Chains A and B, each alone.
Chain A
């Protein structure tokens, strides 16, 4: 199992993700530059946090047209595991791999703090290491994390079991307390919290580890 971490101009969690995957879990990890057309044979893709293309226009709006993401779309359609964290989640919604959109936090502030989340793994291949309904703590760090979709879409997502991560105390005004969403097939996960920042006891706890470790248990 090798993992590719997509790097855009403005990505800033790419090295943290690689540290979590390779340093903490021993998974060979390579960077995938936004201009490349292929995924260099990796078995899973992570789109990390940051401010791709300076967040110009809208978060993720320019990144969505990066050549590497055409390959990611084909990879996801074929069932390959794809994870979008924070800005990566925003990119996945702009790309249409996940529904809805992420908008300015209701309180207008950038929020950087630990949050409590409820996990509902369902079919999500990334969350099989957590029990159904367990509570975990992961840090968030975003200014535009308020998940938005219309009521009908939200009901559909709930009915399909795609709302796999929910805030216990909604920090940003997201509809349905949505913190993370999975696609119907279960291979694509997008979330605003940062699991890669919770993979070591010394720096933020270990609650993010089972998410990334799912790549080892469930190749």
Chain B
């Protein structure tokens, strides 16, 4: 999948003098805070959001990382 913004940035890296950049892809990072009764529910809801709203699987891959707030799971 062509990433024209990534390719343009890679060309700029070479102009800055760093020649070794073989691959540069630009994506998005989305931070969201979710309240859920437990981790499984949170996982399910986040997968639904990632697949149906936050990313378009036709053109984007996504991965998910859950961090629990300090002090453990909320009730």
> Does B56 touch A at the CB level, under 8 Å?
yes
Is the pair B4, A104 in contact by a Cβ cutoff of 8 Å? Answer: yes
- Chain B window 6-30, contacts with chain A (Cβ cutoff 8 Å), 1 for yes, 0 for no: 0010000000000000000000000
Is the pair A148, B4 in contact by a Cβ cutoff of 8 Å? Answer: no
Residues of A contacting B34 in the complex (Cβ-Cβ under 8 angstroms): none
Residues of B contacting A65 in the complex (Cβ-Cβ under 8 angstroms): 53
List 6 interface pairs A-B (beta carbons < 8 Å), by A numbering. A65-B53, A94-B56, A100-B58, A104-B4, A106-B2, A173-B2
Is the pair A149, B58 in contact by a Cβ cutoff of 8 Å? Answer: yes
15 more A-B residue pairs beyond the given contacts A148-B1, A148-B58, with a C-beta to C-beta distance below 8 A: A57-B53, A57-B54, A58-B56, A61-B53, A61-B56, A65-B53, A93-B58, A94-B56, A104-B5, A105-B4, A106-B4, A108-B4, A108-B8, A148-B59, A149-B58
Closest to A103 in B: B59
A110 to chain B, nearest CB (A): 13
> Does A107 touch B at the CB level, under 8 Å?
yes
Contact-residue size bin, chain A (C-beta under 8 Å from the other chain): 10 to 19
Is the pair B56, A108 in contact by a Cβ cutoff of 8 Å? Answer: no
Interface size on B, residues (CB 8 A): 10
Residue among B1, B53, B54, B58 having the largest count of chain A Cβ atoms under 10 Å: B58
- Chain A window 93-104, contacts with chain B (Cβ cutoff 8 Å), 1 for yes, 0 for no: 110000111011
Is the pair B5, A108 in contact by a Cβ cutoff of 8 Å? Answer: yes
Residues of B contacting A100 in the complex (Cβ-Cβ under 8 angstroms): 58
Residues of B contacting A103 in the complex (Cβ-Cβ under 8 angstroms): 2, 59
Residue among B4, B5, B53 having the largest count of chain A Cβ atoms under 10 Å: B4
Binding site for A on B (CB under 8 A): 1-2, 4-5, 8, 53-54, 56, 58-59
Q: Which of A140-172 contact B (CB under 8 A)?
A: 146, 148-149
Residues of B contacting A108 in the complex (Cβ-Cβ under 8 angstroms): 4-5, 8
Bound: A95/B58 CA distance, A: 12
Residues of B contacting A107 in the complex (Cβ-Cβ under 8 angstroms): 4
A183 to chain B, nearest CB (A): 16
Given the known A-B contacts A61-B53, A108-B8, are A101 and B58 also in contact in the complex, defined by CB atoms under 8 Å?
yes
Residues of B contacting A58 in the complex (Cβ-Cβ under 8 angstroms): 56
Residues of A contacting B53 in the complex (Cβ-Cβ under 8 angstroms): 57, 61, 65
Given the known A-B contacts A57-B54, A61-B53, are A101 and B4 also in contact in the complex, defined by CB atoms under 8 Å?
no
Bound: A64/B56 CA distance, A: 12
Closest to A108 in B: B4
Is the pair B56, A101 in contact by a Cβ cutoff of 8 Å? Answer: yes
B43 to chain A, nearest CB (A): 21
Given the known A-B contacts A57-B54, A61-B53, are A101 and B59 also in contact in the complex, defined by CB atoms under 8 Å?
yes
Residues of A contacting B56 in the complex (Cβ-Cβ under 8 angstroms): 58, 61, 94, 101
